[in-house]
Structure 1
Amino acid sequence: MDARCLGITELVETPSVAVVVDVMRAYTVAAWAFARGAERIVLAESLDEALALKARHPDWVALKDGAPAPGFDAVNSPGLLRSADLGGRTVVQKTTAGTVGALAVKEASLVLCAGFVVAEATARLLRTRACDSVTFVVTGEDGRAEEDLACAQYIARRADGVATDAAGFLRRARESRAAAELEQGVRQGAHPDDVPLCLELDRFPFAMVATPEDSLMVLRPCPAPAPTDEATS
């Protein structure tokens, strides 16, 4: 598989297959939302759009980066979301980088959103689809976020069916700038467990696929294909 890692601003053309990586924290949060029963996640273009969607659909759950704000029901923190009851709900998510990255490649034929918590499921789906060329969108720090690069590189190796020790990749993420900022309280709307929750490898058995639905970009869980003999770990 031909894999390349690009930042959002480096996307000069629409890739055929894109894996949008945001480990800390958008797509860890999204995975937790599905685990807590959410039916779908609408990826909003802006805070105003998120609030407008919430106003039109009061039963939807609006979620954003940073501190709590009027009109929003939750913040972008897996530690704070993991106890929520989202059974059958639609979540509207707007984050600084993760949702921006997915919307930047919305014309791709296949868009997956990922973090370490869904790494193997994402890799299996790429193998099943026989994807020859994959663009990993590294959303953090203008494409230089170490936690996102590490996750993208790990998924790429697993998508090629290579038995890979995850420890070094997880260590890079653990030592990243994002992890330090979360632990030091630099980022608002955080929980003390956010970093370890973001580094739970393969916590969930599904990949996450984003597709256009009625002018919205909608993320849904997709059960991981069964492992094949050539891709066993």
Structure 2
Amino acid sequence: MVGMFGPDMRDHGRTEARFLGITDLAEAPPVAVVVDVMRAFTVAAWVFARGAEKIVLAESLDEALALKARHPEWVTLKDGPPAPGFDRVNSPGLLRSADLDGRTVVQKTTAGTVGALAVKEASLVLCAGFVVAEATARLLRARACDRVTFVVTGEGGQADEDLACAHYIARRATGADTDAAEFLRRAGDSRAAAELAEGVRQGVHPDDIALCLELDRFPFAMVATPEDSLMVLRPCAVPSPTDEPST
């Protein structure tokens, strides 16, 4: 254990949490929580809230376009401005009114999808942001995960919005009462938030930052599993607090 929020964090021997960047992963851990607050997994949660059945996490823009060519009914989205072959951009503000009922969405982003694919051999892969933080922590508690690797996808593992979210979920995974205000403040003061606010990033809606910082907006966790050679993300219902195992 190196400080409260160092590389490892343990709570009374019950849970060991590691916080690593994508390039720090020497091998796939047993349990991985891949965090991308601004904006990949906030977008993913909104995609499910708008009715999508599943999200295929593409390894490259070319793979996303190839999947679209084979499945014209699938919806493709990417970071940045609109581009030929892509139906949507990676913005929660621009997706929150989309009709995706029953659809398959193909997502390719700079960091979030890369992080999830980097741990595709893990036994359990969860993708998370603040909007599904409590549901993610509750699923970790329900499955009695005592060693969890948080993959901090942004800025080589140093993105403060992703670290803040990972630290918060790690605390909640122990069942500890935790005030989210400081974690949300860190995320709101992050470089990613500033870049979104200043228009440095393209394909942005003015409400994106607020939507990314909407704590526990959705009641489901998001689990990624290999399906037919693809890494597929789906929403996962979580036990109610009264159904969780006692600690």
- TM normalised by structure 1 equals 0.98
Q: Of 132, 135, 144, which aligns to 1:121?
A: 135
| RMSD, matched Cα | 1.3
User: Which residue of 131, 140, 149 maps to 2:154?
Assistant: 140
1:20 aligned onto 2:34: yes
Amino acid at match of 1:199: L
Counterpart selection for 1:100 from 109, 114, 125: 114
CA distance in 1, matches of 2:228, 2:243: 39
User: What's the counterpart of residue 5 of structure 1?
Assistant: 19
**Partners in 2 of 1:224 and 1:191 — Cα distance?**
30
Q: 1:95 to 1:44 in 2, by over 3 A?
A: same
Q: Tell me by how many angstroms 1:3 deviates.
A: 0.2
Picking from 163, 167, 188, the partner of 1:153 is: 167
Residue aligning to 2:60: 46
What SS is found at the alignment partner of 2:241?
coil
Measure how far apart 1:14 and its partner are. 1.2
Cα displacement (A) at 1:228: 3.6
Where structure 1 has 5 or more consecutive residues not aligned to the other structure, the ranges are none
- Relative distance call for 1:230 and 1:46 in structure 2 (3 A) is closer
Paired residues in the alignment total 232
The offset of 1:224, in angstroms, is 2.0
Per-residue deviation at 1:223? Answer: 1.0
- Structure 2: gaps (5+ residues): 1-14
**How far apart, CA to CA, are the structure 1 residues paired with 2:208 and 2:129?**
13
1:229 positional shift? 8.4
Q: Distance in 2 between matches of 1:216 and 1:208?
A: 16
Corresponding residue for 2:70?
56
Partner of 2:97: 83
Q: What TM-score, normalized by structure 2, do the two folds share?
A: 0.92
1:129-156 Cα offsets, whole Å, 9 max, x none, are 0001000000000000000000000000
Q: Percent identity?
A: 84
- For 2:196 and 2:73, the matched residues in 1 are separated by 30
What is the CA-CA distance between 1:230 and the residue it aligns to?
Answer: 8.2
In structure 2, relative to structure 1, the CA distance for the partners of 1:51 and 1:229 (3 Å cut) is closer
